[in-house]
Chain A
Amino acid sequence: MIHCDHIAWQAGTFALNNISFTVPAGSYGVLMGRTGGGKTSLLEIICGLRQPTAGEVWLGERRVTQLAPGERGLGYVPQDGALFPTMTVREHLGFALRVRRRPASEIALRVVELAQPLGIAALLDRLPTGLSGGERQRVALGRALAARPQVLLLDEPLSALDDDTREPLAELLHRVQRESAVTVLHVTHHRSEAARLADVLFRLEAGRVVESPLTHSVYV
């Protein structure tokens, strides 16, 4: 579960006020809103990269507002992936476990487990330079899932992709979420993405989040 309870945050003249919403455990939540409306800032508050001026963030049964980002048990895929420029795909997939000082054998096993379903097994020894937009997002997704987080935060993961790449990656996100039962909050400004993926849909409007009814059957 992801629960934001009366979150407030301000930067200069821009403000988020009284943000409250809940993504039920194991659900795929989509947060829609205009570009520049504060969606990324809200994700960063949930991640712990920004501190709210008021309110609480709950992940599952834990109140995490005061915890460091790495203690929150979440995976984060920022816009464009933000891959580590000097690490290979293999090192990306093993990074979270390496930070947790897990044995090399366990890391190697997990890398293979992640690479196969994400379709990046052939890229393991490549550096981010030269990867396509879709490949970069797959690597970023694998990196975020490596430590088996309970919560996955996706910041416009499909926005920079062309039509041919977007649909397979949307399908992959759906499959990964269903198979791992991870609770997802996916931020986008595309209606089609929301209709395609959302179990529960929210809109960020004028600094507030409101739940919005699903207008389409999401999966046929």
Chain B
Amino acid sequence: MSRRAFDPFWLVLGLITGSYLLFWLGLLGAAAVHSSPHDLWHALQTREIRYAIGLSLVTCTLTAVLSLLLALPVGYLLARGRFPGRAWLDAALDIPIVLPPMVVGLCLLIFFQTVVGHLIERVMPFTYTVAGVVLAQFVIGAAFAVRTMRGTFEHLSERPENVALTLGCTRARAVWLVTVPAARRGMFAAASIAWARSLGEFGPILVFAGATRMKTEVLPTSVWLELSVGNLEAAIAVSLVMVALAIVVLASVRLLGERV
């Protein structure tokens, strides 16, 4: 039996990938060994950090659901719609991704100082509130979810949906009965990406929702607040909690994504 000749091409690619992975593991390892289990446990016992964990989980989940609700129709429109200005709309929807996060927060803050913003806040206050945290996360998380759903719909054949039209469906019903169920993996991925992106969101939340303890403090805010008072151990402990949550989300996406 002949063996394939050794190809250094794959070795080089493997070395590059391994180096990158090692670098990341080194960063996480350095943070982990800098903190002790006692510090981690102590940090997790504080009322403020437990509140921040709870608020992060709730707001990220709300943001993921809202992002998915927006990404479904917008992603479908971008993937299947044929209309003038489609390329411009596509580019415009990427703006939250490329804007510096602080600028997104500043834009939100300024918008809610306008007449329209004041009218909205009469019904539901956003500035320096938990709703503001969700909105700041949503502005960026939704942009990533839209990208994912657009890609999902582009990869799904349009033909089953067209057959459903000939069988008596309206376009909306054909999409609902045929295309949306077929897009469930993409929906799961879109919600997961929005959730994970929201977990790490800091700049827009700081500017728009503030960093008030026991009110608008989410996990990235906790890291910043602890660092600002020189409590490095607590900052590291909170960071490790975020790393653990990120790993759980990544693992869930991989495991559940295969089954959905």
Which A residues are closer than 8 A to B by beta carbons? 44, 47-49, 68-70, 72, 74-76, 78, 82-87, 95-96, 99-100, 140, 143-144, 146-147
**B 173-203 binary contact with A (CB < 8 Å = 1; else 0):** 1000110011010000000000000000000
Give the Cβ gap from A97 to chain B, nearest Cβ, in Å: 9
Q: Contact at B182–A76, with CB atoms within 8 Å?
A: no
Q: Contact at A70–B182, with CB atoms within 8 Å?
A: no
Given contacts A75-B166, A82-B162, A85-B182, 18 further A-B contacts (CB under 8 A): A44-B162, A48-B165, A69-B165, A69-B166, A70-B170, A82-B160, A84-B160, A84-B164, A84-B177, A84-B178, A85-B160, A85-B181, A86-B184, A99-B173, A100-B168, A143-B167, A144-B166, A147-B167
A70 and B157 contact, Cβ closer than 8 Å, known pairs A85-B182, A86-B182: no
A99 and B167 contact, Cβ closer than 8 Å, known pairs A84-B182, A85-B182, A86-B182: yes
Give the Cβ gap from B32 to chain A, nearest Cβ, in Å: 42
Q: Is B247 an interface residue (CB 8 A)?
A: no
Which B residues are closer than 8 A to A by beta carbons? 157, 159-160, 162-170, 173, 177-178, 181-182, 184
Q: Among A44, A72, A74, A76, which residue has the most Cβ atoms of chain B within 10 A?
A: A76
Give the Cβ gap from B181 to chain A, nearest Cβ, in Å: 4
Q: Contact at B166–A95, with CB atoms within 8 Å?
A: no
Q: Complex Cα distance A47/B184, Å?
A: 28
Chain B residues within an 8 Å CB radius of A68: 165, 170
Q: Contact at A96–B167, with CB atoms within 8 Å?
A: yes
List 17 A–B pairs whose Cβ atoms lie within 8 Å, in order of A's numbering: A49-B166, A68-B165, A69-B162, A69-B166, A70-B165, A76-B166, A78-B162, A82-B160, A82-B163, A84-B163, A85-B160, A85-B182, A86-B181, A95-B164, A99-B173, A140-B163, A147-B167
Q: Complex Cα distance A68/B162, Å?
A: 11
Main secondary structure of the interface of B (DSSP, over half): helix
Give the Cβ gap from B89 to chain A, nearest Cβ, in Å: 23
Chain B residues within an 8 Å CB radius of A83: 160
A49 and B167 contact, Cβ closer than 8 Å, known pairs A84-B178, A84-B182, A85-B182: no
Q: Contact at A95–B182, with CB atoms within 8 Å?
A: no
Q: Contact at A47–B182, with CB atoms within 8 Å?
A: no
Q: Contact at A78–B159, with CB atoms within 8 Å?
A: yes
Chain B residues within an 8 Å CB radius of A144: 166-167
A70 and B166 contact, Cβ closer than 8 Å, known pairs A82-B157, A85-B182, A86-B181: yes
Give the Cβ gap from B180 to chain A, nearest Cβ, in Å: 9
Q: Among B160, B162, B167, which residue has the most Cβ atoms of chain A within 10 A?
A: B167
CB within 8 A of A70: which of B159, B167, B178, B184? B167
Q: Complex Cα distance A144/B177, Å?
A: 16
Q: Complex Cα distance A87/B157, Å?
A: 15
Give the Cβ gap from B243 to chain A, nearest Cβ, in Å: 35
Give the Cβ gap from B123 to chain A, nearest Cβ, in Å: 38
Nearest neighbor of A82 in chain B, beta-carbon distance: B159
Chain B residues within an 8 Å CB radius of A48: 165-166
Chain A residues within an 8 Å CB radius of B157: 82
Q: Complex Cα distance A84/B177, Å?
A: 9
Give the Cβ gap from B156 to chain A, nearest Cβ, in Å: 8
Q: Contact at A147–B168, with CB atoms within 8 Å?
A: yes
